[in-house]
Amino acid sequence: MSELLQVESLCIGLKQTGKPIVKQVSFALRKGAALAVVGESGSGKTLTCKAILRLLHDRTFTVSGSIRYRGQELLAASERDMRALRGNRIAMIVQHPMMAFDPTATIGTQITETIMAHRRISKRDAYSSGVRALERMNLPRCEQLMNSYPSELSGGMLQRIVIALAIIHEPDVIIADEPTTALDVRNQSMVLQELKQLKQSGIGLLLVTHDFGVAAGLADEMLVMREGEVIERGTVHDVFAAPREAYTKELLEARILMRKEDRHDRDEGCIQTV
Amino acid sequence: MVSMIRRRLTGLAVVLFGVTLLSFLLASISPVDPAEAYALRVTQQPTPEQIAAIRVELGLHLPLHQQYFRWVGNLLQGDLGISYLTKKPVLSDIAEKLPVTLQLVGLALVWVALVTVPIGILTALKPGTLFDQAVRWATILGISLPSFWLGFLLLLLFTLILPVFQVVNAGTLGSLILPSLTLAVPAASAFIRLFRATLLSNLNKDYVVYARARGIRQSRIVWVHVVKNSLPPLITLFCQYVGLLVTGSAVVESLFSLPGIGMHLVNASMARDLPTVNGCVLVIALIFVLTRTAAELINARLNPKLTDKEERLYG
Ligand SMILES: Nc1ncnc2c1ncn2[C@@H]1O[C@H](COP(=O)(O)OP(=O)(O)OP(=O)(O)O)[C@@H](O)[C@H]1O
Ligand SMILES: [Mg+2]
């Protein structure tokens, strides 16, 4: 079977009110392919990503449908099996690198623990392989970086560390939730370059983005989500050339997206000054 | 770190100055004349002459600012004066009473720490469960129970119904169990609520989701990351409680007949024993300031980034 990840009729709802948030979402991800998920803020993209790794609390959310990784049903998997997959076979790149790390622990501690979560190796070996992972991302002065705290690093650096951590266990699938939104233009293109290479190396990439440019540059196929529903799907080429839905057209004209992205930038600004 | 300690030392001087000055002022506006109170303890019906003589003897005839500076001058030489009540040096009285209270408070805080950490974690990890609800109600009750009533209840229960602990024999650790529990119940209730809330807010942070997404064990996420991030407010409160419990120990000390500093201060206030009152107030203020500094130092170790920023802010 060539499908790495197969999501069928995924529904996510709020447990308390029963309000559906993500409705009947289906898609498949193949080896070496990239699937872009675009949609405005609040359309349920992040929730979908988290649901795949079973990161949603069942206190708050109900999740139904089917999520299969190499044929294994994840919604029925034990917590133990899920932990073995997370970060190991299916890795995640997060939306807000500035908030992704424990502020009281050094980067080195958090890299080391990530390596040791899936490999039986000594702390010392984990540490040195952490340094090598940072070097692979062309980060400067990696030894020093290991001893620094998240608040000492820029968003771009943190996102590169997040990417380094995502590939550290050579996963099959990477879920990248708006990997470039929090970054400035220079860092954005660098991250995109990384992701392109990952895809070429055979990883299946699920790419969530606001940005049609990013989707066009990386993805083969795309989904357009609105209010929790997939309203349009096809190859990137087809969707761009002939959007069937008026909403997609609107998105393509970038009006909504630009506005959303402005808002996001401002949000990021607030977060950074806190 | 160094600048923080310097800042604290300046703060310490300011606080002690303010607190002693205040206690002097309050004593002077009190309607009862300390010289008269003193004379009444010596003779049945003191004549005005006798009272005036005592006033001069105690230095109470001097203007207030002179009294204060004399007191501060003596203090700088390590002399807190002689108690009007016990006729012993104030410092040696305090040295005798303070350890009792510190043991009492120390033991109370041991109970607090022992219950707060596990119960806080259990309730925060599974909010809304029956256990969590039970803890919620119990802590509401614990906070609102008056301590004399709680102490009285414990006293009744353990002396009359289940005579396990020595109640009266002072000086043994056993005699401190009931009073320390009385102090610990309201404190632990407040601590559990704070710790649970802090843990919950940390459990909902992005870094927890991302740590789970990397496959890190739940136990490690909780104990290494979430607990560590949730400790600073708890430690701040914990250190504040040392001072609060020392001050508030009077009720429990009187209930369980413990010769501690709380009772000592209450007795001294009632007898208008000014040197003792001022000495006790000074010592308690010192405890407050020292524990606050301790809290800052511990938190600085837990989260080095916090202090660096603080240092930058404060230049
Ligand atoms: N913990 C929660 N409780 C209740 N509602 C939630 C919760 N988390 C998310 N939602 C709701 O679910 C919807 C989808 O959220 P999601 O984060 O998936 O959006 P998104 O498409 O990733 O948006 P963005 O582009 O802003 O990241 C939003 O309307 C949000 O209000
Ligand atoms: Mg999102």
CATH number at residue A12: 3.40.50.300
pLDDT of residue A45: 94
**How far, in Å, is the centroid of ligand 1 from the Cα of A245?**
23
Closest ligand 1 atom to A208 CA: 22
Residues 6+ apart with CB under 8 A from B213: A50, A53, A55, A86, A87, A91, A92, A94
Q: Which residue of A has its CA nearest to B216?
A: A117
Residues B287 and B101: their CA atoms lie apart, in Å, by: 12
Give me the count of residues in chain A.
Answer: 274
The answer to whether residue B210 neighbours chain A at the CB level (below 8 Å) is: yes
Using a CB-CB cut-off of 8 Å, the residues of chain A touching B227 are none
The answer to whether residue A16 neighbours chain B at the CB level (below 8 Å) is: no
Residues linked to residue A232 through DSSP beta bridges, in sequence order: A224
Residue type, B278: N
Could you give the residue range(s) of every CATH 1.10.3720.10 domain in chain B? 91-314
- Other C-beta atoms within 10 Å of A181: how many? 23
Residue ranges, chain A, pLDDT below 50: 255-260, 262-263, 265-274
Q: Which residue of B has its CA nearest to A116?
A: B216
Regarding the beta carbon of A60 and ligand 1, being less than 6 Å apart is answered yes
Regarding the beta carbon of A49 and ligand 1, being less than 6 Å apart is answered no
A41 burial level (CB within 10 Å; 0-12, 13-18, 19+): middle
Strands A204-209 and A173-177: parallel
Q: Which residue of A has its CA nearest to B304?
A: A104
User: C-alpha angle with apex A257: A253 to A262, nearest 5 degrees?
Assistant: 130
Run of H or E residues at A205 = strand A204-209
Are B206 and A103 spatial neighbours (Cβ–Cβ below 8 Å)? Answer: no
Residues 62-91 of B with CB under 8 A from A: none
Run of H or E residues at B189 = helix B174-203
pLDDT of residue B166: 52
pLDDT of residue B58: 82
Using a CB-CB cut-off of 8 Å, the residues of chain A touching B128 are 59
> What tens digit of pLDDT does each residue of B169-212 get?
555 666 788 889 999 999 999 999 999 999 999 999 999 999 99
pLDDT of residue B172: 63
Helix axes A155-167, A123-136, angle to 10 degrees: 120
**How far, in Å, is the centroid of ligand 2 from the Cα of B133?**
33
With CB atoms and an 8 Å threshold, state whether A86 touches B214. yes
Regarding the beta carbon of A21 and ligand 1, being less than 6 Å apart is answered yes
Enumerate long-range contacts of A215-218, CB under 8 Å, 24 or more apart.
A215/A36, A215/A38, A216/A240, A217/A192, A218/A34, A218/A36, A218/A192
Residues A159 and A175: their CA atoms lie apart, in Å, by: 14
A140 burial level (CB within 10 Å; 0-12, 13-18, 19+): exposed
Across the range B280-304, mean pLDDT stands at 87
The answer to whether residue A254 neighbours chain B at the CB level (below 8 Å) is: no
A11 burial level (CB within 10 Å; 0-12, 13-18, 19+): middle
Q: Is the pLDDT of residue B308 over 60?
A: no
- Other C-beta atoms within 10 Å of A40: how many? 18
> What tens digit of pLDDT does each residue of B76-129 get?
888 888 888 888 999 999 999 999 999 999 999 999 999 999 999 999 999 999
Residues A177 and A11: their CA atoms lie apart, in Å, by: 19
pLDDT of residue A11: 96
Q: What is the DSSP string of A15-74?
A: TTT--EEEEEEEEEEETT-EEEEEE-TTSSHHHHHHHHTT-S-TTTEEEEEEEEETTEEG
Regarding the beta carbon of A16 and ligand 1, being less than 6 Å apart is answered no
* Closest of B293, B204, B186, B191 to residue B233, by C-alpha: B191
Matching residue, tokens 């909010």:
B127
Residues 6+ apart with CB under 8 A from B294: B239
Give domain status of residue A214, yes or no.
yes
Give domain B91-314's CATH architecture: Orthogonal Bundle (1.10)
pLDDT of residue A269: 38
Residue type, A129: S
By Cβ distance, the residue of A55, A104, A114 closest to B209 is A55
pLDDT of residue A245: 75
Regarding the beta carbon of A41 and ligand 1, being less than 6 Å apart is answered yes
Instruction: Determine which residue's CA is closest to atom 19 belonging to ligand 1.
Output: A42
Matching residue, tokens 């550290």:
A168
To the nearest 5 percent, what fractions of chain A are helix, strand and coil? 45, 25, 30
Instruction: Measure A216 CA to nearest chain B CA, in Å.
Output: 27
User: Which ligand is in closest contact with the Cα of A50?
Assistant: 1
pLDDT of residue B163: 64
Give me the count of residues in chain B.
Answer: 315
Q: Is the pLDDT of residue B221 over 80?
A: yes
Give the number of domains in chain A.
1
pLDDT of residue B97: 93
Q: Which residue of B has its CA nearest to A149?
A: B305
**How far, in Å, is the centroid of ligand 1 from the Cα of A90?**
22
pLDDT of residue B194: 96
Give domain status of residue A106, yes or no.
no
Closest ligand 1 atom to A50 CA: 18
Task: Specify whether the backbone of A32 is left (phi greater than 0), alpha (psi in -120 to 50) or beta.
Answer: left
Residues 187-216 of A with CB under 8 A from B: none
Are B245 and B183 spatial neighbours (Cβ–Cβ below 8 Å)? Answer: yes
Range(s) of the domain holding residue A40 = 3-89+169-273
By Cβ distance, the residue of B210, B217, B224 closest to A117 is B217
DSSP category for residue A87: T
pLDDT of residue B76: 86
Using a CB-CB cut-off of 8 Å, the residues of chain B touching A102 are 207, 211, 225, 228-229
> What tens digit of pLDDT does each residue of B251-277 get?
889 888 889 999 999 999 888 888 898
Using a CB-CB cut-off of 8 Å, the residues of chain B touching A87 are 213-216
User: C-alpha angle with apex B264: B258 to B265, nearest 5 degrees?
Assistant: 135
Regarding the beta carbon of A242 and ligand 1, being less than 6 Å apart is answered no
pLDDT of residue B289: 87
Sheet strands side by side (includes A61-69): A20-30, A3-14, A61-69, A72-73
Using a CB-CB cut-off of 8 Å, the residues of chain A touching B207 are 99-103
| Higher-scoring residue by pLDDT: B147, A171 | A171
Alpha-helix runs per DSSP H in B30-164: 34-42, 48-58, 64-76, 90-125, 130-144, 147-156
